[in-house]
Amino acid sequence: MRTTFNARRLLNRLVTPQGLIFIICLVNFIVRAIEVDRLDREIRAYGYVEHWYPGRIMVEPFLLLVAGALLLFNRWWARLVAVLASVRVVYSLGYLPWLSIHYAHDVPMFSSQAMEKLWYVVYKLHPECLFEVPLGVAVFICASVLLARVRFRRSAVATVGG
């Protein structure tokens, strides 16, 4: 009886938007870990391991996984850390390549030329980044909305109760 209650409670928690984002982050982390493991075996088979660190590729998926997991906790600090982690992912995978294209090719940032060069230079070679940037934005929006709800709820309680 107790295990079915816990299973139902867990299932009800994972059906929420936060739970779905966490599941997507978990699947992204697993897929990227499999890809990095395959790449690591390939590189080590050829004997080139001097400047190869597979953990560097897993930083952004790990941050997304942590941010997605923190969305499931009902604490303001967990949502704040989720916001910060998702901002880091969007900054490093979205904004920095865009800024680099702007400076390297001397094109306006908000132009079709910049988007075209960004596609051919970054996202065509690394399509996982094209998936992780919107996922980071989704985590950011969800965590921001939940954090704002906590803030507005506390201010309403203080006004009414005070």
Query: Both tokens of residue 21?
Result: 């984002």
**For 97-106, what is each residue's pLDDT tens digit?**
999 998 988 8
Cα separation of 52 and 70, whole Å?
A: 30
* Cβ pair 65, 25 in contact under 8 A: yes
Q: What pLDDT is attached to residue 154?
A: 64
CB contact set of 57 (below 8 Å; sequence gap of 6+): 32, 36, 39
* Cβ pair 53, 35 in contact under 8 A: no
Q: What pLDDT is attached to residue 12?
A: 74
**For 96-136, what is each residue's pLDDT tens digit?**
999 999 898 888 988 899 899 989 988 898 889 999 999 99
| pTM greater than 0.75 (yes/no) | yes
